[in-house]
Amino acid sequence: MSNLQILQITFYGAAILLIAIGLYAVVTKRNLIKIVLGLSIMDSGVNLLFITVGYISHKTAPIFSPSVMAKYKTIHAAAQAMVDPVPQALVLTAIVIGFGVTAVALALVVRLYRHHNTTNIDEIRNLKW
């Protein structure tokens, strides 16, 4: 097993571990803040997974800068030497969305705390059945 594979497996493993930790936190923790944290961790895991998928070892950033063009001569060759840019674009979007969701979530937590005087999710059950 080459170093590269180990590296990739580590990244995949880390991503999946993050998702699992996030899920675990969301499902078992009773504190609202911890649940929001869990959601964030889950998001990060997914984002990391995206990056890992797009990453190809020994390749450069997907920017057609003059220096890169000078090195590879043709656009095609330059593209061959770059990592896939799409996952990165997607991850940027996903991060922004995740940020937005977290912000809304925290705002809701504040609201819930004011309303119920607790951050224990078990005690916030006015709506049921």
Residue 4 or 96: which CB sits closer to another protein? 96
Contact (Cβ atoms closer than 8 angstroms) between residue 119 and residue 86: no
Least distance in Å: CB of 33 to another protein?
A: 12
Contact residues toward another protein (CB under 8 A) are 19, 23, 26-28, 32, 35, 39, 42-43, 46, 49-50, 53, 84, 86-87, 90, 93-94, 97, 100-101, 104-105, 108-109, 111-112, 115-116, 121-122, 124-129
Least distance in Å: CB of 114 to another protein?
A: 9
CA distance 109 to 89: 30
Contacts of 52 by beta carbon, 8 Å cutoff, 6+ apart: 8, 11, 12, 15
Least distance in Å: CB of 93 to another protein?
A: 6
Least distance in Å: CB of 107 to another protein?
A: 8
Residue 6 or 89: which CB sits closer to another protein? 89
Q: Which among 11, 34, 6, 10 has a CA at the least distance from the CA of 22?
A: 34
Residue 78 or 87: which CB sits closer to another protein? 87
CA distance 118 to 92: 34
Residue length, the chain? 129
Residue 70 or 127: which CB sits closer to another protein? 127
CA distance 105 to 112: 10
